[in-house]
Structure 1
Amino acid sequence: MSTDAFPRTPRPGRVARWAGHWIAAEPPPVPEDPSAMSGGGRHAGFSRALFRRTVELAAAPTTATIRLTADARYVLWVNGTEIGRGPARSQPYRLRYDEYDITAALTEGVNVVAVVVTYYGEATSWWMPAAGGSALGQDAALVAECVVDDELLVTDDSWRSIRSTAWTLPSDREIGLPLEIFDARQLDAGWNLVGFDDSTWPRASVVATTHTGAQGRTRPPAYPYGPLLPRGISHLGGDIVTARLAAGAVHPLPAWASDSPVARARQVLATPAREPVDAELPVPWPGDADGALHLAFDFGRIVAGIVSLDIAAAPGTHVELYYRERPYDPAADASFTDPVTGARYIARGDDEGFHAMEINGFRHAHVIVHGGAATVRGLRVREHLYPRTGEAYFTCDDEQLVALYRAAVRTVEVNSTDAYTDCPTREQRAWVGDAVVHQLVDLTTNTDWGLARNYVALSDSPRPDGILPMSVVGEIESGGGLTIGDWSLSWIHGLHNLYRYEGDEEFLRAHLSTAEGVLRWFARSLDEHGTLSDVPEWNLVDWASLFLNGRSSILTALWARGLREFAEIADALGDHGRARWARGLHERAREGFEDFWDARRGLYIDHIVDGEPRLPASQAAGAAAIVSGLAPRERWSAIARAITDPERLVVRSWIGREDGSYDLERMTEQTLRPLSADWDVESQIVIAQPFFSHVTHDAVALAGHADRLPELLRRWAAFLTDGYDTFGECWGWGTPAHGWSATPARDLVAHVLGIQPGSPGFRTARIAPRPGNLRRLAGAVPSPSGPVEVRIDGRDVEVRSPVEVEFVHPDGTTQTLPPGDHALRLR
């Protein structure tokens, strides 16, 4: 074992040197013309490479750690025990590495470190390839170093590696998450165990960065990855969840029309069953040459993680797996609402079974067995989610509200992996706007704020013009094209949330310039009134039917909120010049914003076109007017009452159908011509969809009506049917577990219990309970100093806080309380 010197503890502010080399299964493709290395480059296709290194230890180690990363994804085993998966989602030029303690996994004698590295070849919804210009970044690559007591083991050409043929992709892939095809016959059993003979494997190739001036560098930092960054977030994990076998039948075996496992499963499901099968595990299948065994499994809720099928099958037996978020419906087959996720397993002929490499989210699974005999013993998922820690909770004397709190937390949980995602079932994209709701829920329900910080850091990846991508680390950012501008304003709100809850000035300072760039991008669309007009690119705000063309009250107000929040952060950092600039723009916007006020109806309208105020008004317009501070305070209460009046609210979406599906024709229509209202614009107000409701509820609370929130939140109960315990994407349609819908958890503790930071970094707490009709309620939220807890029974209140408290009674009077436990009565 090598004993090269290696600095384990880098000095603060310095990048740790790496002794490990970048290695690959074989030399990656290199452009023939060296002058082409400044751009472009040829990416290898999808592949998985296996790496092994055997080492003999004279004794079990006292300490042993390993750090590693890969392009694009790895799974690490030591002596056959899975240690971890990574790296965390990141742009290739900000590649992350992981570090693990592997002391317990090593023993005296022979040990083996084994890694499988996946390279996707083309951008996915959660990974983007590196830019061209080097041999690195074009193919599967690994760098690692293991320190065992005082000795060092690094990746170099002493490792063995092969490019595996066991995993492939279907030839006729559909849009969606990758479909795994795993032929176990092409993978040697025990390849990651001690005792496996790897003498026929080639030695790994050491890969050098090959750009002009690289001088053959093979160790990090190297282009295109640069200095490798620590993971920055906790490692993922979760429970093992077993599915219930719901039904079984034998179907005729069709002539396959596709190589896709999902398409094949659909073919079988589309044929009438030949005979039923008892829905009791284990299920034997004799291997009828003309038939296919179909088993339907139900996890009872949306789960997200690594699928394992417990099956003993004859060599060459095929299993098609089809994952669904909802029960199979032939009418929805192959539609945009039907996620295209699944896998194929071809048995080796032992009892190893199928263990997925990719992470999938679903509730229902269809297992189709054909081409050989098998016994299916069960299906399970090892959830692979971000940890939830601490003592946060909410309870009250209304079980429906308690269920809503728990469902909101679970909705964020299944959308928290190595980034906040929109949904685990269809995309797993890190949308820059969606994630502000996930962040707010985590800040109020989870003591691990790593992902809340990571949201801001990961999304800080602006285009050259200053605006952020609509989704980061994936094919959307990689393409560098169209963006949703207002998503960047949600990102500024996320930065402000961290200012309030965490108050890390160094972190805030690192991201302030990007926030300014976003605000300046919008300022290019200022009109002579100081408001925003004809903002380019995709203006979304919410899936509700909003009018955002012409002079936009909604975009102006969201931008103005960003200006206020930016100014507040800049002042806290001593950057008073930037703060004055932002406040000056806010004041101009406030004056021009009066043009959107419809005094007759007591509402702010959505937009003005060619100087003509238009009638449509939305919850979004009124709420944004309040949270931005553009509406005079004396109007807030009336606006809040108007935009929450159930007699005036109407549910409308430009893209949602009443049958729960997406209206793709109408989505296309938006690209061709302006849309028109199909509701009474004079008397009706378009309600916000679940996402933008977090702004609506902020506005209601600011206007002094937080006591109404328990009733407003009951709308979310419509999602909790048929066993689902997560919130769906929109009112009546969309995916059943969408993270952007999870605002009730934050609202119940921050607005109803009223626990919020009283000063930046939660150095003090502000507690303003507004229980409404609730008599008994209690809860706790995390703070950097410990949980802040409130318990209410009638008018009696108990407060437990590690920091000073400003307690605001319902009548508006305040009390200042020192840290500790207190008993008081509501006034």
Structure 2
Amino acid sequence: MTDTNNWTLSAPWVWVPHYLEEDNQPGRYFLFRKAFPWTPPSSTAEHQECLVHVSADSRYRLFVNGQSVSFGPCKSYPGKWYYETVDIRPYLVEGENVVSARVLRYSSIKAGSSSIVSSPLPGFMVYSTVENIPVFTDVTWRCQEQQSVRIVPHAEWNFLLGPPFMANNERVEEDPGLRGWQEGGYDDSAWDSAVVQTNSVKMMPIVSYWQLSPRPIPPLPETPCRFDSVAKSDGVIAADEWQSLLSDDQPVVIPAGETVQVDLSVDSLLTAFISLAFSGGAGAHITLLYAECYEKDLGVETAPFPMPRAKSNRADTSGRLYGPRDYYTVTSGQDSHLFEPFWFRCFRYVQLAITTGPNHPLTLTHISLRETSYPLDTQTTLHTGDPELTRMWEISLRTLRNCRHETFEDCPFYEQNQFASDSRLQMLFGYQLSRDDRLARKTLEEFHASRTANGLIVAQYPTGLPLTQIPQFSLYFVFMVHDHMRYFADGSVVRRYLGTIDGILEYFAQHLTGTGLVGRFEPTTWPFVDWVQEWFVPGQIFASCMPPAYHTTGAATINSLLYALALTHAAELCEFARRGDTAAEYRARTAGLRDAVNRHCRRATTPEEGGVLYTDGPGVDQFSQHTQIFAILTETVTGQAAQDLLRRCLALAPNPSATDTTTTTSSSSSLADTTSPRLAQASYAMKFYLFRAAEKTGLYAEVFHTLLQPWRQMMALNLTTWAEDEVNARSDCHGWSACPVNEIVEGVFGVRAVVVNSLSAAGEGGVREGVSVRIEPDPSLVGRADGVFCTPAGRIGVRWDREAGDGKVEVRAVGDFRGDVEVFVRGRRVGGELRGGQVVKI
């Protein structure tokens, strides 16, 4: 095997000759191929691997003799460029072989996909580790631009859907000259010879843009699946004919001169590659529209700006589908065609529209899907006697799966961006499902690498575009590292990122005002806190999503409290890393922030009014759940006062849409009414922290079922994944809303990781580091439950059945489990160390 550190320094990058990027296109496609003879080795080496390393700038799909073998490179960032390693031996045949690739190059100067990075230099690279497999990229490779495919430009984007973050929809005009280009016998004599691609200069110490590193996560599977049913059809083809095509591959013939339309559906929203196989049909036009659900018909197909949209029952097909489109034009009417967009799509419904030419029918022979997502080895399984909780669990897992590919994603349909706030929750929920933290470690490293000169991390990263910064999202990086410490106790991870954490916290320290509160951030930033109806400023998105007090007073209380909570977590990280002095400093900063909030933002009311409330800024009568929640979490208010505050936090401002079955984007929102006693409500994601406040005050069991109401409402609307928030009729799949995972694992079953602090544990036989497991189930929340949970020490089973009259809870070690397990009942420790097969009944 070739030494990795040596070959990466001289990796053979190539590209097409005469390439000009200044053409106003967000992305373009390029084809590469290499034909070579191959003779199988002797029988003694018959199963020898033939490994090749492959990468591209920006994306590629690699084929061997027409079969797809690799898709990449894994999303990366400047300074670390990933490559994949694939064994091509199973795909080689005796005689002529062809290795080929289709490469999507996103422009480095025009806005393309916001989550895919392009360097200033385009390139494609294949490196063989086996000498008799001559597939090194060099000038013997043949190449050409695939001009028959165009990325739909931003000028043609339907801005009714919001900003065009992904730029991956295609407009294709069939090119008969490319028939069989991935296979042997194809005549590529008209293609160009590849040229070597490098930025090196003789005698100059210039390093490559592509600092190659092996892919840190497994390849994403592409699992074959099918559409489930036909939602609607229009035209000469009946719905049952379409269904036979989907279920049994019975061909559908669309006569010449006809227009047909069919809406295909899957039972649950998913992310998948889509492929259409057909024949004939010269002159036909095919359009694929992808949608999450039917929604209110706005009377227009497209708009040059976002419009107020409304979604209701997601199983109701009486509305209209809105979404991005792919286009395909048939030119030759050859015996077989295949239309497969390069990137996967997210959908619950796909609208297929076909208009055939005046003289040629088109025969659809197959419509197939290949579902794709990060292959997390989910080891936590559970069943409860509460069908509602079980369904919430299943929807949460599906939501997380759809938002987890080569990065964590805010939403798979609109953006596929990795945001720090979203990722923190998705990573945490993943730890409760699996011991696989490879994607989480990749994420930590990416945000660490995004550090800017002012000490913050970039709010969404990796990114191919210089997007607006959100300062508060850097604080969620502190929570990310703390979560990883709690579940993995990896000192090397904590120590690696403490410098980044210090820089983040210092940024906020530099923004303290004379009141001791965090003040305004730079005017070029978006001080986003949450999607809250009362916080919207009409027509000014970057002045929205934060308490109005931020604009009027220059200080939003929530920013000081978020900073204080991050300081508390950072102090615990420093203690774990034996940085006691820094931990003490951070705790002192926290105390100062608590004091400032209590002096300037605490409003004492009469007992009849309910006690204390915290204002959203100094000297204003504006209130939100957010400020109350983080006042509790930071111990700015404690004891009975904290309990009273939480109860008031839930009693005030009942959600006005609690009985509404429609989610609407408002086009005429205004700032909060400062005379109203209501509290602005936390979104689905922020309700995770509301659950934590209930836990901290000891009121978790009392409010548990009440706090689940938003997820009940989504289930009543037949969502199959959790929506982004209650304000926007936008994303129907947002990973940050999968809070029920945490509440079922830690709240109901009481299974949680507890880091053994290296300082506090010292003194009894020396310093201890590691993670133990604390189990404190609450059978009062559900009468019957049985689950097996992935923990840092292995798998643990927890079960009870109050409905059968047995009040005992059984905790059991599963398989090779071995570790410290503290079992508690109502705060009293009743169990110690468990080993495989051991059972404790409480």
- Normalised-by-shorter TM-score class: 0.7 to 0.9
Which segment drifts farther, 46-55 or 701-710?
Answer: 701-710
Which segment drifts farther, 70-79 or 232-241?
Answer: 232-241
Match of 2:328 in 1: 345
Match of 1:164 in 2: 146
Judged with a 3 Å threshold, the aligned counterparts in structure 2 of structure 1 residues 63 and 208 are, in CA distance, closer, same or farther, namely: same
One-letter amino acid of the counterpart of residue 436, structure 1: R
Deviation of 1:418 (Å)? 0.9
Residue 697 of structure 1 pairs with residue 691 of structure 2: yes
CA deviation string 1:140-174 (max 9, x = no partner)? x1112122377664211121111111211345421
One-letter amino acid of the counterpart of residue 79, structure 1: N
Written as runs of structure 1 = structure 2, the 5 A alignment for 1:643-654 is 643-645=649-651, 648-651=653-656
- Counterpart CA distance in 1 for 2:400 and 2:255 is 42
CA contact (8 A) 1:652 1:686 kept: no
Written as runs of structure 1 = structure 2, the 5 A alignment for 1:303-702 is 303-327=270-294, 329-331=296-298, 333-334=301-302, 335=306, 340-347=323-330, 348=332, 349-372=334-357, 373-460=361-448, 461-475=450-464, 478-479=465-466, 482-536=468-522, 537-544=525-532, 545=534, 547=547, 549=550, 550=553, 551-595=555-599, 596-600=601-605, 601-609=610-618, 612=619, 614-645=620-651, 648-651=653-656, 659-666=662-669, 675-677=671-673, 681-682=676-677, 684-702=678-696
Judged with a 3 Å threshold, the aligned counterparts in structure 2 of structure 1 residues 651 and 570 are, in CA distance, closer, same or farther, namely: farther
One-letter amino acid of the counterpart of residue 187, structure 2: D
Deviation of 1:45 (Å)? 5.6
- Counterpart CA distance in 1 for 2:53 and 2:239 is 51
Which segment drifts farther, 373-382 or 585-594?
Answer: 373-382
Judged with a 3 Å threshold, the aligned counterparts in structure 2 of structure 1 residues 43 and 524 are, in CA distance, closer, same or farther, namely: farther
Which ranges of structure 1 fall in alignment gaps of 5 or more residues?
1-6, 31-40, 132-136, 252-273, 670-674
Q: SS of the residue aligned with 1:727? A: coil
Match of 2:733 in 1: 737
- Counterpart CA distance in 2 for 1:211 and 1:539 is 44
Q: SS of the residue aligned with 1:624? A: helix
- Counterpart CA distance in 1 for 2:496 and 2:66 is 41
Match of 1:4 in 2: none
- Counterpart CA distance in 1 for 2:581 and 2:781 is 47
Judged with a 3 Å threshold, the aligned counterparts in structure 2 of structure 1 residues 749 and 472 are, in CA distance, closer, same or farther, namely: same
Match of 1:809 among 825, 837, 841: 825
CA contact (8 A) 1:791 1:797 kept: yes
- Counterpart CA distance in 1 for 2:435 and 2:482 is 18
- Counterpart CA distance in 1 for 2:706 and 2:593 is 34
- Counterpart CA distance in 1 for 2:828 and 2:645 is 20
Match of 2:790 in 1: 782
CA contact (8 A) 2:474 2:504 kept: yes
The alignment-based identity, stated in percent, is: 21
Deviation of 1:406 (Å)? 1.0
Deviation of 1:452 (Å)? 2.0
Judged with a 3 Å threshold, the aligned counterparts in structure 2 of structure 1 residues 183 and 401 are, in CA distance, closer, same or farther, namely: same
Q: SS of the residue aligned with 1:154? A: coil
Which ranges of structure 2 fall in alignment gaps of 5 or more residues?
158-162, 246-250, 310-320, 535-545, 757-768
Match of 2:537 in 1: none
Judged with a 3 Å threshold, the aligned counterparts in structure 2 of structure 1 residues 170 and 495 are, in CA distance, closer, same or farther, namely: same
- Counterpart CA distance in 2 for 1:651 and 1:468 is 36
Deviation of 1:18 (Å)? 4.5
- Counterpart CA distance in 2 for 1:493 and 1:15 is 38
Which segment drifts farther, 778-787 or 491-500?
Answer: 778-787
Judged with a 3 Å threshold, the aligned counterparts in structure 2 of structure 1 residues 701 and 304 are, in CA distance, closer, same or farther, namely: same
- Counterpart CA distance in 1 for 2:324 and 2:202 is 42
Q: SS of the residue aligned with 1:433? A: helix
CA contact (8 A) 1:388 1:447 kept: no
Residue 205 of structure 1 pairs with residue 195 of structure 2: yes
Judged with a 3 Å threshold, the aligned counterparts in structure 2 of structure 1 residues 340 and 415 are, in CA distance, closer, same or farther, namely: same
Judged with a 3 Å threshold, the aligned counterparts in structure 2 of structure 1 residues 498 and 811 are, in CA distance, closer, same or farther, namely: closer
Judged with a 3 Å threshold, the aligned counterparts in structure 2 of structure 1 residues 80 and 632 are, in CA distance, closer, same or farther, namely: same
Match of 1:190 in 2: 180
Deviation of 1:29 (Å)? 4.4
Residue 230 of structure 1 pairs with residue 233 of structure 2: no
Match of 2:711 in 1: 716
Judged with a 3 Å threshold, the aligned counterparts in structure 2 of structure 1 residues 560 and 398 are, in CA distance, closer, same or farther, namely: same
- Counterpart CA distance in 2 for 1:602 and 1:15 is 68
Q: SS of the residue aligned with 2:193? A: coil
Deviation of 1:540 (Å)? 2.2
CA deviation string 1:274-322 (max 9, x = no partner)? 9999654447454443x42111111122111211123333233210111
One-letter amino acid of the counterpart of residue 817, structure 1: E
CA contact (8 A) 2:475 2:563 kept: yes
CA deviation string 1:374-431 (max 9, x = no partner)? 1234533211211131421222110110100111111011111111111111221222
- Counterpart CA distance in 1 for 2:264 and 2:407 is 28
CA contact (8 A) 1:184 1:346 kept: yes
- Counterpart CA distance in 2 for 1:599 and 1:757 is 37
Deviation of 1:766 (Å)? 1.2
Written as runs of structure 1 = structure 2, the 5 A alignment for 1:122-161 is 122-130=110-118, 137-139=120-122, 141-148=123-130, 153-161=135-143
CA deviation string 1:98-134 (max 9, x = no partner)? 1122232223333221111101223334445546xxx
- Counterpart CA distance in 2 for 1:696 and 1:704 is 12
Which segment drifts farther, 372-381 or 63-72?
Answer: 372-381
Q: SS of the residue aligned with 1:498? A: helix
Deviation of 1:486 (Å)? 1.5
CA contact (8 A) 1:123 1:129 kept: no
Deviation of 1:359 (Å)? 1.7
- Counterpart CA distance in 2 for 1:316 and 1:513 is 61
- Counterpart CA distance in 1 for 2:177 and 2:472 is 48
CA deviation string 1:157-215 (max 9, x = no partner)? 12111111121134542143322112232551221123323233221110120579647
Report the TM-score, using the length of structure 1 for normalisation: 0.84
Judged with a 3 Å threshold, the aligned counterparts in structure 2 of structure 1 residues 393 and 638 are, in CA distance, closer, same or farther, namely: farther
One-letter amino acid of the counterpart of residue 628, structure 2: G
Q: SS of the residue aligned with 2:446? A: helix
Judged with a 3 Å threshold, the aligned counterparts in structure 2 of structure 1 residues 413 and 470 are, in CA distance, closer, same or farther, namely: same
Deviation of 1:20 (Å)? 3.1
- Counterpart CA distance in 2 for 1:763 and 1:187 is 61
CA contact (8 A) 2:58 2:118 kept: no
- Counterpart CA distance in 2 for 1:235 and 1:710 is 39
- Counterpart CA distance in 2 for 1:207 and 1:354 is 31
CA contact (8 A) 1:561 1:629 kept: no
Judged with a 3 Å threshold, the aligned counterparts in structure 2 of structure 1 residues 676 and 784 are, in CA distance, closer, same or farther, namely: closer
Deviation of 1:718 (Å)? 1.9
Which segment drifts farther, 325-334 or 236-245?
Answer: 325-334
CA deviation string 1:511-545 (max 9, x = no partner)? 22222221111112212343213344322222124
Match of 1:267 in 2: none
Judged with a 3 Å threshold, the aligned counterparts in structure 2 of structure 1 residues 194 and 275 are, in CA distance, closer, same or farther, namely: closer
